[in-house]
A and B are shown apart, each in its own frame.
Chain A
Amino acid sequence: MNELSPEAKELLTIASGADDPSIDDKARVRRALMAAVAAGAVTGVAAAAGASGAASSVGTAASAATAGGAAGAGAVSVGAASVGAASVGAGAVGGGAVAGSALGAKVLALLVAVGAGTTVAVTKPWSEEPSAVEAREQAAVDSRSQVTAERPRTSAATSAQQASDVVPPVVDESIAAPSETSPEAPALDPSGASTSEPARPSTRRPRENVVAPSADTLATELVLLRRARAALAANDLAEATRALDEHTATFADGALRAEREGTRALVRCAERPDPEVARAFASAHPGSPLAARVRAACDAE
């Protein structure tokens, strides 16, 4: 290979650092990733686990965690949407949160088979706010195990079997080692469909018979925010605003309040860039990892 000229190399050297993420970027994505896995824990179980038994008791707890009402409906419907997206196997990224949930659901399908507590084990290493988040996660575990204990279903064995049936496609779903990947076939493997195949969301109605005050509200908060982010990514600002309003109504002082307001600022500036919005956000939530992003969106033009 012929080499680049020294001048060209120098330009590359100067420019090369510019694409690196900041510490904020890294932390922000990590948190979003944690959120997606956690949201997958709710929607994935609800959508993929089916009607009853052990798996359903997890789904039940998760739904209970949504404190019922519109928020619960939101969680479930996102789950359904995820399965749909996975089945089609298209637009995995463009959908933002929805696609994230689809993958989260698949991750979760694997986890369900390992054991209900696994979900928590997985989210822990990602936890950025150990005290708050882990406490909530723990509460979720507790409520799950309670529900499982108090509400044994006869079909538990069947359902557990069902859950483990979900796993092989996930594991075996050949990610075709990179060397086998055709450059002409860049699509994410649509075999995601196979993982959601056993899903029978229509048969499940966990929300009606559950009252669980020790709810995992964080998971619901995450679902709403992911919905807002997905809508924003798809330029559906009205839907983004709806999701954010829902979050405000249900979790006015929620753990993810700053994220909500940051996302709201992004939505506003997507409608019309306004530096004032960024300033207001920065002063209300100093140090938010979203600040840079909000500034970038609002300072436009």
Chain B
Amino acid sequence: MLAVSPSGTNEEIEASGPRSRPVVPAFDRVYEEHFDFVWRSARRLGVADEALDDVAQEIFLVVHRKLAEFEGRSSLRTWLYAIARRVVSDHRRSARRKRPHTPLPETLSSTATPHGDAVRQQAATILHAFLESLPDEQREVFVLAELEQMTAPEIAEATAAPVNTVYSRLRLARQAFERCVARHRARLGRES
């Protein structure tokens, strides 16, 4: 947790918001508590490792700008995710235009401990390949439900889709994942 400056962003934001609204969470607290979620989400939405920094930063710049408008009607994570997916979507569009080469399938953060990493890395590789193979709308539902433990109504809100649609996307994604796991079963068993 960052030390909160007595005259920092928080007060500016809170002071500029209309009185009728609930107290807006402090920006640095949002960053501290939700950076991991935003980072993971961007990554799982298919942002290449070398672009993650810029995308994460961009997302939080939007958050910084919009936080005063957060109304508490949705959960903060839902709200953050909605911003993240818009930023990522923009990024992917422009990255397609600009990037002639494909990024390396290597993780950016190399601070993980060596032991046990091979298995985890492999599981992650499988998961990423699987996520990449999914249609966008199934991928995000799968990630939010299975990896972020969001409820279907929350996912519906985060992805601006009807709840029933969320359920059906999730069902399809789960079936696809089971098939993927079956394909990799022998390999995982051998190496774990």
- Which residues of A pack against B, CB within 8 Å? 1-2, 4-5, 7-8, 11-12, 14-26, 28-30, 32-33, 36-37, 90-97, 99-100, 103-104, 106-107, 110-111, 114, 118, 121-122, 124-126, 170-171, 174-175, 177-183, 186-188, 229, 233-235, 292-293, 295-297, 299-300
Interface contact A25-B185, CB-CB below 8 Å: no
Closest to A93 in B: B91
Closest to A236 in B: B98
Interface contact B123-A11, CB-CB below 8 Å: yes
The CA-CA distance from A180 to B78 in the complex, in Å, is 12
Interface contact B157-A93, CB-CB below 8 Å: no
Can you name 14 A-B pairs with beta carbons within 8 Å? A14-B120, A18-B123, A19-B124, A25-B52, A36-B61, A90-B90, A92-B58, A92-B87, A93-B94, A122-B12, A125-B4, A125-B27, A178-B83, A183-B159
User: Number of B interface residues, CB 8 Å?
Assistant: 96
Interface contact B40-A19, CB-CB below 8 Å: yes
The CA-CA distance from A165 to B73 in the complex, in Å, is 28
Closest to A230 in B: B54
Chain B min CB distance to A86 (Å): 12
The CA-CA distance from A214 to B90 in the complex, in Å, is 40
The CA-CA distance from A26 to B50 in the complex, in Å, is 14
Interface contact B90-A110, CB-CB below 8 Å: no
Chain A residues with Cβ under 8 A from B150's Cβ? none
Other-chain contact of A94, B9, B12, B91 (Cβ < 8 Å): B91
Chain A min CB distance to B101 (Å): 9
Interface contact A100-B61, CB-CB below 8 Å: yes
Chain A residues with Cβ under 8 A from B174's Cβ? 1-2, 4, 8
- Which residues of B pack against A, CB within 8 Å? 2-5, 7-10, 12, 15-16, 27-28, 31, 35-36, 39-40, 43-44, 49-58, 60-62, 64-66, 68-69, 71, 73-74, 78-79, 81-83, 85-91, 93-95, 97-100, 104, 106-112, 119-121, 123-124, 126-127, 137, 145-147, 152, 157-161, 167, 170-171, 174, 177-178, 181, 184-185, 188, 192
Chain B min CB distance to A53 (Å): 22
- Given the known A-B contacts A94-B98, A124-B8, A178-B158, are A4 and B177 also in contact in the complex, defined by CB atoms under 8 Å? yes
- Given the known A-B contacts A18-B120, A18-B124, are A33 and B57 also in contact in the complex, defined by CB atoms under 8 Å? yes
The A interface is mostly helix, strand or loop, or mixed, namely: helix
Chain B residues with Cβ under 8 A from A118's Cβ? 12
Interface contact A33-B61, CB-CB below 8 Å: yes
Interface contact A91-B90, CB-CB below 8 Å: yes
Other-chain contact of B107, A8, A18, A28, A175 (Cβ < 8 Å): A18
The CA-CA distance from A25 to B157 in the complex, in Å, is 28
Interface contact B39-A179, CB-CB below 8 Å: no
Chain A min CB distance to B5 (Å): 5
Chain B residues with Cβ under 8 A from A122's Cβ? 8-9, 12
Other-chain contact of A186, B71, B90, B145, B167 (Cβ < 8 Å): B90
- Given the known A-B contacts A107-B65, A233-B54, A293-B50, are A178 and B160 also in contact in the complex, defined by CB atoms under 8 Å? yes
Interface contact B68-A171, CB-CB below 8 Å: yes
Interface contact A15-B87, CB-CB below 8 Å: no
